[in-house]
């Protein structure tokens, strides 16, 4: 009676396959990134990210309503300020673009979770994630003075209505510094989603186009992680957990699913995977040329993140995925 075992028996019918599926993507897993810009009535498509737009606050509100109606529980806000300076003033000012967008979204869609990206690169004139030594052209960020800027930024974002603070600059001690600042300001219940393992990746290219955040000189390898390292990622997450992180993120996702798996195994905190701009743009470019089936590729990719251990997925495909899941 060979073969004794016939795994194909459980693949014979679509409903049977659905019943025994081990990992399933739902709209509750998704977080949609949005780019806020000054002005009114602005919806400017990002050239390198088809279907993604720089949006004025009024348009952000419209988008937030659509996201909520699709069943997506959260957005993450990035800001492109009108002016940039060495103090990243637009990041922490009470009238900063992310602050304005956060307040407007919470007033219009109070049940939508607003995550504020807490970083400085979009707001500094040099494009790096904090203070630099005067005359430094290498991009080596001064860690401890930058923590003071991040503390001000996090508190300002929480005051504006952000539900979750998501520091992404990879400064040593940034979770602890932000946690102390939030607690002292009365925001002890505001959680921190730490970009705990953020790699210095070529997959970020289109994002820098969208956020106008490319470094004017040097690169970010002195603070973002080297692509060849995974033990270092585990060290970073252990430090962030000890400092009070509530959730952990791995960024990018597609080329780092082994890291997602290791982080999930090493922690009992929720793990987020950021399906970054370069990953999105490659799929969109291939789909626009009819080289791939976009829906199947996107859903297969998102499922692979869940299989690797991600509880949450930040993705520019979120709205499309939500629509496909409703079929």
Closest Cα partner for 32 from 327, 325, 322, 324? 322
Candidate list 59, 106, 151, 198, residue with the active-site label: 198
Is residue 95 annotated as involved in ligand binding?
Answer: no
Active-site residue, from 251, 264, 284, 319: 251
Does the active-site annotation cover 251? yes
3-state helix, strand, coil split of the chain in percent (to 5) is 45, 20, 40
| Chain centroid offset of residue 12 CA | 38
**307 annotated to a ligand binding site:** no
198 an active-site residue?
yes
Strands 30-37 and 74-79: parallel
Dig out the tokens for 271 from the structure. Answer: 């793990």
The answer to whether the annotation marks 274 as part of a ligand binding site is no
Contact of 34 with 76, CB cutoff 8 Å: yes
- In the 8-state DSSP scheme, what is residue 38? S
Beta strands in the chain (DSSP E): 30-37, 43-45, 53-56, 74-79, 113-118, 164-167, 193-198, 247-251, 271-275, 312-315
Burial of 6 (0-12, 13-18, 19+ CB in 10 A): exposed
18 is in an annotated binding site: no
List residues forming the annotated binding site for Mg(2+): 236
List the binding residues for Zn(2+). 119, 121, 129
Binding-site annotation, residues for 5-aminolevulinate: 208, 220, 277, 316
Catalytic residues: 198, 251
* Residue ranges at the known binding site: 119, 121, 129, 208, 220, 236, 277, 316
């Amino acid at each position: 009676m060979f073969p004794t075992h016939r795994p194909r028996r459980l693949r014979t019918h679509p409903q049977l396959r659905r019943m025994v599926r081990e990992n399933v993507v739902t709209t509750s897993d998704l977080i949609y990134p949005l780019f806020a810009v000054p002005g009114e009535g602005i919806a400017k498509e990002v050239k390198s990210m088809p279907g993604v737009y720089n949006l004025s606050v009024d348009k952000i509100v419209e988008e937030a309503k659509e996201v909520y109606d699709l069943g997506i529980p959260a957005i993450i806000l990035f800001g492109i300020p009108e002016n940039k300076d060495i103090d990243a003033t637009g990041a922490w000012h009470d009238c900063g673009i992310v602050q304005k967008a956060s307040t407007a979204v919470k007033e219009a869609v109070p049940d939508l979770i607003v995550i504020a990206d807490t970083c400085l690169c979009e707001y500094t004139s040099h494009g790096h994630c904090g203070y630099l030594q005067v005359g430094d052209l290498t991009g080596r960020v001064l860690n401890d003075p930058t923590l003071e800027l991040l503390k001000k930024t996090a508190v300002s974002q929480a005051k504006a209505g952000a539900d979750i603070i998501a520091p992404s600059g990879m400064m040593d001690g940034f979770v602890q510094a932000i946690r102390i600042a939030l607690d002292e300001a009365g925001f002890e219940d505001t959680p921190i989603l730490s970009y705990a393992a953020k790699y210095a990746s070529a997959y970020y290219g289109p994002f820098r186009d969208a956020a106008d955040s490319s470094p004017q000189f040097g690169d970010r390898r002195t603070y973002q992680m080297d692509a060849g390292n995974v033990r270092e990622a585990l060290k970073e997450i252990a430090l962030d957990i000890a400092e009070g992180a509530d959730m952990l993120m791995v960024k990018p996702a597609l080329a780092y699913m082994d890291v997602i798996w290791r982080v999930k195994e090493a922690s009992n905190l929720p793990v987020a995977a950021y399906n970054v701009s370069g990953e999105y743009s490659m799929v969109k470019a291939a789909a626009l040329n009819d080289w791939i089936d976009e829906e199947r590729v996107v859903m297969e990719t998102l499922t692979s993140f869940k299989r690797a251990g991600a509880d949450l997925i930040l993705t520019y495909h979120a709205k499309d995925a939500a629509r496909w899941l409703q079929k």
